[in-house]
Chains A and B, each alone.
Chain A
């Protein structure tokens, strides 16, 4: 049994930036300003600021669909400041007294402490030995985990490795042994360029397979080599002066004990490691951390300097300041810090995105931007029982897990072209987001979104619209990465859909209201669900007339989007009937067929069994038909039928049965059916949905349906339907 998905929860409390110059390590920045305390007001204010900053770096559409839902539900929309607002904000009236909405509570006596620890001592604790370079750093004090990945300067105080290959502007990448995964995609240069500047973030490059989560784009403008060398020299000068010897971004988490390993592991793999690598890379390239670390310390000090002459540690000073200051200095300090430092802004952004389970889109320098996210489950194959953890509303399916032992030698990308795109929020809102970014990709995205249908696979859309398949897959993976869409098997009216056993019933009332607003002319949601929840039958039986088809397919997509329905897929095993067993055991025995009278217990309503269409004969899975039925009496073990578990790698006995069955198919149904049988055997392993045979083999659905129904009628197949 595969493990059950857990609900997304980052357990993130705060992020610190720890730097060590010549002497003691120092926490130069941390976010949120008052970790572990309810600082919603302050935070909201800063988030506005942060939002404004990031929108200027094309981050507008990073909020995922579900976030929007959450925000819509809670009624709190982050009011993003428009660029012109921001200008006013920064130039004219950025004075602290304008922000008197943020009161600093004075009763906090333990100010400046971070979760009760003196920041100075905490910094020392969090400063690892040099042997920890680029290794996972994990220290927990009571229930809080401090997770980081320290980076140290070389022996000579340099951040760049000496050894360097000759080459153009590329060399620094090679120079750094742990060079960040660069966009691996080399094929469609145009789309890559487009995506870099697109509003949906600049990072779908290595998202083709949907597996890699690191998305990072480094624009390497065609700089002059001389120019670059000059810059490098400049940076080196700075570096000598400041001598940053170590830095570390520390993520503070409080995971529940039972989920400790999982949460900490995820945070490290998906966020800490990637973020630290990017900073290290940028430090080696442009001394970003050492420059900004100094600046952050200076800014904080200058704020405290007026009050305190003793150099204790920035945050202690900050503490005094906040206690004594007449204005809310913390807010203006953070305003300053965020305004001036890319690193600070990135940390703040990572904190607010990751702690809300969103995707963080950050840009450290104009040349380096990356996105970070902890993946959330999008589908599960396991239905939770009464005891296990519940995550209702999650799409219940096995369609997203392609069997490992895929006998068809069908590459996943090939199969992927037969998936369709299901938008997870409504088209107008996605289009609006896309258009608001005003990037060159927006037009392509909009073009595609306008022709995209959940009933049509990528391949079909490519053929009908003339957009290249690779482009479509690129855009689709982009939308999927940003949690705006999901890849599903194309919805088809002849497939069977049922109300998902994992549907979130507690949302039914609100969903019904939503549904009624969207589809006022159609039956209410409970009625539709009721229709979908009786005996499984093809979706087309629900559609009252041809004119309703489009509307009903629209509803189906809607139901899918919110996890109300799932597709019942058909799986089958090869069943070796007794007469084959006998014929293999005791020589040819074809004459036996049909001579037996049917056993009353095994005969079924035969009329159902001979309906040629696979999908419309739901009851045929019950028993074998009459025409070849042999007594499956529960008496003699050698004649009782067996199911072949792995038809692709059969045992000796099983391959003899398969050969006999193949011969029998040839004998009774002819050559074409035999060829079909030979081709289909590998799918009858209980892991391949029969619905995919038509796509994989390039046959018509009807052909597959007829063949399967025929074999089932002969008692050669045993079918089951699940998701």
Chain B
């Protein structure tokens, strides 16, 4: 959602998306960065009840003059995640330090997550390290800028981004974090969107970014949890309840340790399944 558009901001909770990204980067003109920061901040402050979706703010990159003002203005208990463009290991480490400082200064009650956007060739090479960094709870592929960096044409079929997609899907799966595929930019091609969703789902992506609200139902249709995952999550939930009664924080299921990240993943699956009346 463009961060300087009040009509869009105030309707952002009605589209049944798992998360909404309020944008301070490319969707906001250079002359309106200040205006967008203040608008997003006031919009979030004005909300009296919790949002039904994850609140993400895409800031400007750490190679710009805007990111520090972005962070100082929008980081609060009202947001869940900062999305970082052109992310690299070194910029993510720097972002972690800045967020820690702001969290302390503002006495935040939660730790803000980070979703790096992989849109540089060098970031693809760094992906196995990026997914291990503090706060990183998901990764978004940014195929438009990545194609530009690769100096290749962006196509609907996406052969040019096959390798980055594979790298991201595997790295995220290994660390049990969300892998978010690049948006499908033709908002009038629902069949193409569906094919794209099916393909990336088949190689392990857990979700896909939408560039327009009319893409959300199709994306949800493809990415709802499978029956197998729902059954696993229900078993984790039952085992967690039992462990809680015994005062155990960590327990094992099917010979594998279940700790907070695994329980979080199970809870996410169940939440999504319940949202779609699958259980």
A complexed with B: no
